[in-house]
A and B are shown apart, each in its own frame.
Chain A
Amino acid sequence: MRLIDRSPRAANAVRTVSPGGELFVASVVICMILASFGDAVDPMLFGEAGLEFALFDLGGEFSVLAMRHWHLLQLLLAGGVLAAGITILRVCSPAFFKALRPAPAGGVEKVPIKL
């Protein structure tokens, strides 16, 4: 018997996890798969196809191909940044799309100038 089995919440972690925690772990898993993609792709292949500039940034540090060298700490940090970015997008995008939505044709706020 494991220690975590003593806590009903931990023993059913897949059901009891918070949305934020789940998003963070999912982002870390995505970063891990991207790192394995970097590990699986031969950079020469992209060089031959002329795609090296599409996949490498200027320093070559933050591209998917460079992620093959990343360790767990870097993957956790990248996962945290990705999760934060997704959260910000989720919060901010409704406000952005609300501003794009036209006001009703006969609405008072159609012309936002009060005479």
Chain B
Amino acid sequence: MELEFFSAAFLSALLTIILIDLVLAGDNALIIGLVARNLPKNTQNKVIFWGTFGAIAIRATMAILVVYILAVPGFMLGGGLALVWIARKLLMPESNTGASHLAKAPAATFAAAVRTIVIADAVMGVDNVLAIGGAAHGSILLIVLGLAISVPIIVWGSQLVIKLVDRYPSVILLGGAVLAWTAYSMVVREPLLVAWFEAHPATKLILAILIFSISLGPWYSARLSENMKPLVVLLPALLVWMLAFEVAASVWKVQVDYLLARDQGEYLFEAVRWLGWLPLAAAFLWLREQVVKRSSRSARA
């Protein structure tokens, strides 16, 4: 789909890409510093140049690949689900902000240093490229613009980004929300599911709330009191339950609208759908209480 240049849709997609670039930008400078710290001074300069060049080249290759990969049926759904996990991980409070696990040991040679930098950037950039691919709606121009924005961030803009997110941490929350919104739009656009979503429009709302409740879980979990914490699990579980019944009804061709139910089996199906989750929720709450009691008892002991 090609978006009209400078239309609201185009500018919105561009803003989405900029936000994703800001919040998911990898710390390339740190990786280069860690890898090249034991090399001679003149080799270090070469490693900085070729490491940055390799990082940009791998990012460009991945960006081109993601356009074609997302066009394959099934990958849009997979990408959307991956984005939910990425958004959740983004909002998860970090306890360890120390050295990167991707480049713990310094490299002994120039080739090893460049290889480590390129691999580290590929690993760090997968989420970024995937999110940009989903937000670009297949527009090559937007992919190129996304790349043009992420490359200066990789090379020069790290301090600027750090200052911005340090001053306004709400940018991270907004980034998480935008990632969840992108994930929702990717799942809804999945070619294998488009017809099903058109036949079951109400499931789109369930899906949207499910995606937001999972992605933004760490955020509202931090605000909930201890008694309300089970909601973080119960709300998504209930939505998955509802969604599963919609899917089951489509697979087994069962009537899911109780007003249109015809026989006893369909009424029973409806009863299980609307009330069946209650004993499961009660069992979860009881189990959780037992675990909390046991852990507090062992802490006291």
A binds B: yes
B173 contacts the other chain (Cβ, under 8 Å)? yes
Q: Which of A5, A40, A75 contacts B201 (CB 8 A)?
A: A40
CA distance A7 to B93 in the complex (A): 12
Q: Contacts A40-B202, A73-B15; is A29 near B177 (CB within 8 Å)? A: yes
B222 contacts the other chain (Cβ, under 8 Å)? yes
CA distance A76 to B8 in the complex (A): 12
Chain A nearest CB: distance from B151 CB in Å? Answer: 14
Provide the residues of chain A in CB contact with B171, threshold 8 Å: 10, 13
Q: Which of B153, B172, B181, B202 contacts A72 (CB 8 A)?
A: B181
Majority-rule SS of B interface residues: helix
B218 contacts the other chain (Cβ, under 8 Å)? yes
Number of interface residues of A (CB under 8 A): 39
A110 contacts the other chain (Cβ, under 8 Å)? no
Binding stretch for chain A, among B39-47, B158-166, B250-258, B287-295: B158-166
User: Would you call A13 and B161 a contact (CB within 8 A)?
Assistant: no
Within 8 A of B (CB), among A27-83: 28-29, 32-33, 36-37, 39-42, 71-76
User: Would you call B181 and A9 a contact (CB within 8 A)?
Assistant: no
User: Would you call A10 and B172 a contact (CB within 8 A)?
Assistant: yes
User: Would you call B205 and A71 a contact (CB within 8 A)?
Assistant: no
Q: Chain A interface (Cβ within 8 Å of chain B)?
A: 1-18, 20-22, 24-25, 28-29, 32-33, 36-37, 39-42, 71-76
CA distance A33 to B100 in the complex (A): 36
Number of interface residues of B (CB under 8 A): 55
Provide the residues of chain A in CB contact with B181, threshold 8 Å: 32, 72, 75
Provide the residues of chain B in CB contact with A40, threshold 8 Å: 201-205, 208
B268 contacts the other chain (Cβ, under 8 Å)? no
Contact with A along B2-22 (1 / 0, CB 8 A): 000000110111011000000
Given contacts A10-B165, A73-B8, 8 further A-B contacts (CB under 8 A): A3-B25, A4-B25, A4-B165, A13-B170, A17-B173, A40-B208, A71-B13, A72-B12
CA distance A36 to B181 in the complex (A): 9
Report 13 cross-chain contacts, Cβ distance below 8 Å, ordered by A residue. A1-B124, A5-B94, A7-B162, A9-B166, A11-B97, A13-B171, A13-B172, A13-B173, A14-B91, A24-B174, A29-B177, A32-B208, A74-B8
Chain A nearest CB: distance from B68 CB in Å? Answer: 25
Q: Contacts A3-B162, A13-B169, A13-B172; is A73 near B12 (CB within 8 Å)? A: yes
Q: Contacts A10-B165, A14-B222; is A28 near B94 (CB within 8 Å)? A: no
User: Would you call A6 and B30 a contact (CB within 8 A)?
Assistant: yes
Q: Contacts A2-B27, A14-B91; is A22 near B173 (CB within 8 Å)? A: yes
User: Would you call A5 and B97 a contact (CB within 8 A)?
Assistant: yes
CA distance A42 to B8 in the complex (A): 24
User: Would you call B31 and A1 a contact (CB within 8 A)?
Assistant: yes
Provide the residues of chain B in CB contact with A37, threshold 8 Å: 205, 208
